Structure 1
Amino acid sequence: MSPTVTDNVLLSASETDASLADRNTFATRVAGKGADPEKKALFASVTKRIDYTPKIGTELHGVKLSQLTDQQSEELAAFIAERGVVFFRDQEDLDSDEHVKLGARWGPLHVHPLIPHNQKNPEVIVLDSRLSPPARYNSNNSWHSDVSFEPAPASFSILKFDEIPEAGGDTVWSNGYQAYDDLSQPIKTLLEGLTAKHTSDIFRAFQANTGRKTFGKLNDSDHPVVRTNPITGWKSIFTNSVFTREINGVSPAESQWILQYLNDIVARKLEYQVRFHWEKHSVAIWDNRSTFHTGVPDFKPYHRRGLRVTVSGEKPYYDPKSTTQAEDYEAKAKVIIAKQEAAAKAQADAEATKAAASA
């Protein structure tokens, strides 16, 4: 099959680029690890911070992603790992070249084995609802962590939409940290000893049905069911409904039960989720090690078109000495409550003093 090009988008590999994805590799360092906990350099540029929920999702204003310093970049990586996903508006100067430069700060960039990509920069995949296959990647059951079938799955993904529908087309993220934290201790203990097989079966099926030539090998990999995020040190569930096929070492019935249960809590627990409404030139950056996401398929007859760069991370691992987001959140919540109580007391004292003075 000859390569097909539409609007500078390469849909199918030629003989010369059929091994592009075979160069995908592991990260040699953990971007953001050891960054300033207060992230002073990053927040020096922030004019407004909006936390969508206490535990996941933040929108930052005043930051131009194409102008980050090295220190700001490292602090942003750490902040994304903590918040799961971070949103930016008005990033019109983040063109394909700058998009690639930003991702490359954090590690080797992934070349997808099947999804159409930019001709100039094969690391930039094109998510266009007019390209085939649009339906499979916009279904109600597409909660996933990007390319988890790879030996070194994605650490960060950077997505920018340049064309948005007049209505609909939001993206939703779910918090893998919280999915783990809310499990009972017996279930946590069970899952921490398990691994699961992640496959690229859906891409194999599409390739077989269309004859489209892939850009490289379609991989399968085994990963721990509970994964440690190397930046935060927090535990997260790491299975998903798109790429995780079976739990290793248990019966098929047990595997199905475990995966269905984990998929259900990721998809149905609204308190784990944050929803983002795209605007033109908006950017979302998320940590695939600890979040899951899905597009909302509600925008027909409109179209949307976005560009994504995916950063390859480390081989997933589980460290039994890992901490949890819940532990960190509890400590921060105590500080917040103490500040609220102090402010309330100060206000009450001020009102009492004012009342006494006027008596």
Structure 2
Amino acid sequence: MAPSIAPSDNVVLSSTEKDASLADRNTFATRVAGKGADPEKKALFASVTKRIDYTPKIGTELHGIKLAELTDQQAEELAAFIAERGVVFFRDQEGLDRKEHVKLGQRWGPLHVHPLVPHDQESPELIVLDSRLSPPGSYNTNNSWHSDVSFEPYPSSFSILKFEEIPEAGGDTIWSNGYQLYDNLSQPLKTLLEGLTATHTSDRFREFQAKTGRKAFGKLNDSVHPVVRTNPITGWKSVFTNSVFTREINGLSPTESKWILEYLNDLTSKRLDYQVRFSWKKDSVAIWDNRSTFHTGVPDFQPYFRKGVRVTVSGEAPYYDAENSGTQAEAFKKTADAIIAKQEKEAAEKSNVDPALQLA
């Protein structure tokens, strides 16, 4: 491995001949973690002491769970829950040290080795996001929304991020809901996009290499994926393009491709009802489903710094199942209707109670 680079301990910044092919070992998941989970997730919620849904359709904070102590059944149900909620947050996860962090990701599939981002010297699957190594620039965050490593032939299913050091203020992360983005499109546009593919590239990393001379840990891949994909756990449709890695929509003219991608990116970044925002504390953890969400960091914390570590679980090749895919909107309506019916039943039962008993 390459030597450690100050100021972060045990961080490898650039490859040597010894580790120049680390990322070439990346593979794909042989099973879909969470697909066989109990729909009610009884084992997981038996340990939950408090649940906070940040919005109706994306983002939940769970208390009472220690990620380093999950049973196999809880881990399987958590994977399914993340796919449904998009991103799930945890506080006070001091027990999830770097070794346990890697073990947690491995429960859901093979871990991705990033071809360029600095990583932990002992575990190349664990990338290190230290602002002292890559300070936040003055860029437009509307153009930084992405799904992790979508340029790979087998992009990430889940990402697990923990911050070890946090700034005095700022540095939030925002996620946007790809399910809802799809659901709110007009039917003619849905029909068009469902038949298209897009090329995802490592162009941004190639540009970074050209500026810095940093050597990659493996091949910088380009891949073609469906514009609308099916989440294998929920079966729901999601838009799967992003402003960082998606170069073009195939089969369209450059002008048409540019217009559609910019429109989708605008919805991702500007529709507040698609979004959930998380303020980090030390030992906080976020786990999200890259198949159905986009995210971006907010570069507002200078002159402070922050350091986090992340593992990225490799998933399956993205696919679109036209015959068997549903939508989050359909599932949400079914759940909402059931809740409303229960509330109305309880209200009706309460109204039928004998007045004398109500006064007792």
TM range (shorter): over 0.9
Q: Residue 280 of structure 2: SS of its match in structure 1?
A: coil
Partner residue of 1:92? 94
Partner residue of 2:346? 343
- Match of residue 294, structure 1, among 279, 293, 296: 296
Partner residue of 1:237? 239
Q: Deviations over 1:288-328 (max 9, x none)?
A: 00000001111111111100000000000000021111111
Gaps of 5+ in 1: none
Partner residue of 1:320? 322
Q: Residue 261 of structure 1: SS of its match in structure 2?
A: helix
Mapped pair 1:215 → 2:217: yes
C-alpha distance in 1 between matches for 2:4 and 2:210 = 17
Partner residue of 1:5? 5
C-alpha distance in 2 between matches for 1:123 and 1:136 = 28
Q: Residue 5 of structure 1: SS of its match in structure 2?
A: coil
Report matched runs for 1:81-120 at 5 Å. Answer: 81-120=83-122
Q: Deviations over 1:210-248 (max 9, x none)?
A: 111110000000000000000000000000000001000
Q: CA distance change for structure 1 residues 197 and 260 in 2, over 3 Å: closer, same or farther?
A: same
Q: CA distance change for structure 1 residues 170 and 357 in 2, over 3 Å: closer, same or farther?
A: closer
* % identical aligned pairs: 77
Q: CA distance change for structure 1 residues 332 and 109 in 2, over 3 Å: closer, same or farther?
A: same
Query: Which amino acid in structure 2 is aligned with residue 148 of structure 1?
Result: S
Q: Deviations over 1:27-77 (max 9, x none)?
A: 111000121000011111111111111111110000000000111110000
Q: Is the 8 A contact 1:3 1:13 kept in 2?
A: no
Q: Is the 8 A contact 1:167 1:299 kept in 2?
A: yes
Partner residue of 2:43? 41
**Higher mean C-alpha deviation, range 340-349 or range 268-277:** 340-349
Q: TM-score, normalised by structure 2?
A: 0.95
Shift of 1:153: 0.4
Q: Residue 292 of structure 1: SS of its match in structure 2?
A: strand
Q: Is the 8 A contact 1:176 1:236 kept in 2?
A: yes
Shift of 1:357: 5.8
**Higher mean C-alpha deviation, range 298-307 or range 248-257:** 298-307
C-alpha distance in 1 between matches for 2:126 and 2:139 = 17
C-alpha distance in 2 between matches for 1:132 and 1:82 = 33
- Match of residue 31, structure 1, among 33, 49, 71: 33
C-alpha distance in 2 between matches for 1:138 and 1:127 = 19
C-alpha distance in 1 between matches for 2:28 and 2:358 = 68
Shift of 1:139: 3.9
Q: CA distance change for structure 1 residues 328 and 174 in 2, over 3 Å: closer, same or farther?
A: same
C-alpha distance in 1 between matches for 2:203 and 2:135 = 15
Query: Which amino acid in structure 1 is aligned with residue 310 of structure 2?
Result: R
Mapped pair 1:129 → 2:136: no
- Match of residue 146, structure 1, among 131, 148, 153: 148
Query: Which amino acid in structure 2 is aligned with residue 31 of structure 1?
Result: A
C-alpha distance in 2 between matches for 1:154 and 1:138 = 24
Partner residue of 1:50? 52
Q: Deviations over 1:249-287 (max 9, x none)?
A: 010000001101110111111111111111110000000
Q: Is the 8 A contact 1:138 1:295 kept in 2?
A: no
Q: Residue 248 of structure 2: SS of its match in structure 1?
A: strand
Q: CA distance change for structure 1 residues 332 and 301 in 2, over 3 Å: closer, same or farther?
A: same
C-alpha distance in 2 between matches for 1:21 and 1:137 = 28
Mapped pair 1:334 → 2:309: no
Mapped pair 1:171 → 2:173: yes
Q: TM-score, normalised by structure 1?
A: 0.96
When the two structures are aligned, how many residues end up with a matched partner? 356
How large is the Cα RMSD of the aligned pairs? 1.7
Q: Is the 8 A contact 2:162 2:310 kept in 1?
A: yes
C-alpha distance in 1 between matches for 2:46 and 2:358 = 43
Q: Is the 8 A contact 2:4 2:10 kept in 1?
A: no
Shift of 1:165: 1.0
Q: Residue 185 of structure 2: SS of its match in structure 1?
A: coil
